[in-house]
């Protein structure tokens, strides 16, 4: 197979990474994609660096065994905690979510005050602080860990009008509102599902999501490495999970914005 026709590998701890796949499909419709959701071990966000790093190596090994030409780490937690390790281990272009979102936010802020919400592990890693200050050293960054959000989203509780996620988000976002941020990074690929609620709590704040930011970085990386698939036929997508393909098909379609009716395969890592 021509190098360019090889698939792009994308992984997340669970369903969240599908919000990134949605953007890739929109912008690179001719690319073949292999998505792996580690649904048997989600969430990663409350775990130690050692455990997350081991899981990420498993995820990478699985995707590499399918001959991928590049990997998108569609998980802020994985990217924050294990990026350096995997970059040193694997000789393949690896695109994350943290640096692209940090760059977008640094360019977007007018008052130099950026908020970031993410999992406990993402916040603990300090990855966003480092990435934003690399682009814009003067910018002030305010981070908040929101451990209840991933379980809520995985349970399908993200609709505007649902008092449970609305109450939880109000409590998490209030301290950032008080800091007068003008830009907020949704630093977890599950959070775009909560976009409408966040926007209603912070109506004047620009919201940056992982999907569009990392897709721009992916296009740039593929192009620099002459790996863009120039085929004119639509690409294929294969889904693999480490638990319950049925519930992935059912819930995943909300994340990706289209039916997942092709076979979702169960794998044992």
Active site residues: 75, 188
Contacting ligand DGL within 218-257 (CB under 6 A): none
Residue 266 DSSP symbol: E
* Window contacting ligand DGL (CB under 6 A); options: 24-32, 74-82, 137-145, 215-223: 74-82
| 20 in contact with ligand DGL (CB under 6 A) | no
Of the candidate residues 71, 114, 132, 150, the single one contacting ligand DGL (CB under 6 A):
150
Q: In whole angstroms, give the CA distance from residue 76 to residue 13.
A: 10
C-alpha distances (whole Å) from 125 to each of 105, 129, 131, 143, 243 are 19, 9, 11, 11, 28
Q: What are phi and psi for residue 205, nearest 5 degrees?
A: -105, 135
CB nearer to ligand DGL: pick between 13 and 251: 13
* Count of Cβ atoms closer than 10 Å to residue 227 Cβ: 18
| 188 in contact with ligand DGL (CB under 6 A) | yes
Helices (runs of H) and strands (runs of E) counted in the chain: 11, 10
* Count of Cβ atoms closer than 10 Å to residue 220 Cβ: 12
Name the residue number minimizing CB distance to ligand DGL: 45
Q: What share of the chain is helix, strand, coil (3-state, %, to 5)?
A: 50, 15, 35
- DSSP of 171-217, one letter per residue? HHHHHHHHTT-SEEEEESTTGGGGHHHHHHHSTTSEEEEHHHHHHHH
For the CB of residue 195, give the shortest distance to ligand DGL in the complex, in Å: 14
| 215 in contact with ligand DGL (CB under 6 A) | no
| 9 in contact with ligand DGL (CB under 6 A) | no
CB nearer to ligand DGL: pick between 209 and 227: 209
* Window contacting ligand DGL (CB under 6 A); options: 37-45, 84-92, 172-180, 199-207: 37-45
* Window contacting ligand DGL (CB under 6 A); options: 43-51, 124-132, 165-173, 245-253: 43-51
Contacts to ligand DGL by CB under 6 A: 12-14, 16, 42-45, 75-77, 119, 122, 150, 188-190
């Amino acid at each position: 197979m021509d190098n360019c026709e090889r698939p792009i590998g994308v992984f997340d701890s669970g369903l969240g990474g599908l919000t990134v796949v949605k953007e890739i499909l929109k912008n690179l419709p001719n690319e073949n994609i292999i998505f792996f959701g580690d649904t048997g071990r989600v969430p990663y966000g409350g775990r130690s660096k050692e455990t997350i790093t081991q899981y990420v190596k498993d995820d990478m090994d699985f995707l590499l065994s399918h001959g991928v030409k590049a990997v998108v780490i569609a998980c802020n937690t994985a990217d924050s905690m294990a990026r350096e390790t995997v970059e040193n281990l694997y000789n393949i272009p690896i695109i994350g979510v943290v640096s692209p979102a940090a760059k977008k936010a640094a360019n977007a802020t007018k008052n130099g005050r950026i908020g970031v919400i993410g999992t406990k592990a993402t916040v603990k890693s300090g990855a966003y602080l480092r990435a934003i200050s690399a682009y814009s050293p003067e910018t002030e960054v305010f981070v908040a860990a929101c451990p209840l959000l991933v379980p809520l989203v995985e349970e399908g509780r993200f609709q505007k009008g649902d008092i449970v996620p609305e109450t939880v988000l109000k409590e998490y976002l209030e301290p950032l509102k008080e800091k007068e941020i003008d830009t907020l990074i949704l630093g977890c690929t599950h959070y775009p599902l909560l976009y409408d609620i966040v926007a209603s709590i912070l109506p004047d704040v620009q919201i940056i999501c992982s999907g569009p930011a990392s897709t721009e970085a992916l296009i740039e990386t593929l192009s620099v490495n002459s790996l863009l698939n120039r085929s004119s036929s639509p690409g294929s997508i294969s889904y693999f999970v480490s638990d319950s393909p049925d519930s992935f098909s059912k819930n995943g379609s909300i994340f990706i914005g289209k039916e997942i009716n092709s076979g979702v395969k169960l794998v044992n890592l």
